[in-house]
Amino acid sequence: MNSENKRRLNYFAQRLKSARLMNGLSLQGLADKIDNRVTKQSLSKYEQGKVVPDSTMIGILSEALQVRPDYFHASTAVEFGEIEFPKLQDSPAKERVRIVEIVKDELRRYLELEEILGIETAFHNPLAELTISSQEDIEHAGEKLRDEWELGRGAVANVIELLEDQHIKVLELESSEEFDGFSTWVNDNRIPLIVLNKAKFKDKLDRKRFTAFHELAHLLLKVNHLPEKQKEKFCHAFATAMLISKDTLQKELGGKRSKLSIQELTAIKQQYGISMQALVYRAKDLGLISDNYLRQFYVTFTQLGYRVNEPVEYEGAEHSNRFSQLLFRALAENFISVIKAASLKNQKLAQFRKENLVF
Strand-pairing partners, residue 191, are 186
At which of 47, 75, 103 does a domain end? 75
- The C-alpha atoms of residue 23 and residue 176 are separated, in whole angstroms, by 15
Establish if 3 belongs to a structural domain. Answer: yes
At which of 52, 75, 98 does a domain end? 75
**For residue 23, is pLDDT > 80?**
yes
Q: What is the pLDDT of residue 224?
A: 83
Among 64-73, 167-176, 235-244, 286-295, the minimum mean pLDDT is found in: 64-73
199-255 pLDDT per residue, tens: 899 889 999 999 999 999 999 999 988 898 999 999 999 999 999 999 999 999 999
Concatenated DSSP letters of 181-250: EEEEEETTTTEEEEEEEGGG-TT-HHHHHHHHHHHHHHHHS--TTS-HHHHHHHHHHHHHHHHS-HHHHH
CB 316 within 8 A of CB 302: no
Establish if 120 belongs to a structural domain. Answer: no
Q: What is the pLDDT of residue 272?
A: 97
Rounded mean pLDDT, 253-279: 95
- The C-alpha atoms of residue 134 and residue 141 are separated, in whole angstroms, by 11
Establish if 111 belongs to a structural domain. Answer: no
Nearest by Cα to 312 from 196, 216, 206, 165: 206
The per-residue pLDDT of the chain, averaged, comes to: 90
- Domain containing 339 equals 322-355
Among 56-60, 93-97, 193-197, 245-249, the minimum mean pLDDT is found in: 93-97
Which residues lie below 8 Å from residue 154, measured CB to CB, with a gap of 6+?
248
Count structural domains, the chain.
Answer: 2
**For residue 87, is pLDDT > 80?**
no
CB 37 within 8 A of CB 54: no
Establish if 64 belongs to a structural domain. Answer: yes
Rounded mean pLDDT, 5-17: 78
Burial of 183 (0-12, 13-18, 19+ CB in 10 A): buried
Please tell me which residue, 6 or 289, carries the higher pLDDT value.
Answer: 289
- The C-alpha atoms of residue 141 and residue 147 are separated, in whole angstroms, by 10
Predicted TM-score (pTM) above 0.85: yes
**For residue 130, is pLDDT > 70?**
yes
CB 191 within 8 A of CB 78: no
Establish if 155 belongs to a structural domain. Answer: no
**For residue 3, is pLDDT > 80?**
no
Instruction: Tell me the CATH number at 65.
Output: 1.10.260.40
- The C-alpha atoms of residue 235 and residue 237 are separated, in whole angstroms, by 5
Q: What is the pLDDT of residue 15?
A: 84
Establish if 47 belongs to a structural domain. Answer: yes
At which of 75, 98, 117 does a domain end? 75
Establish if 5 belongs to a structural domain. Answer: yes
H-run or E-run covering 169: strand 169-173
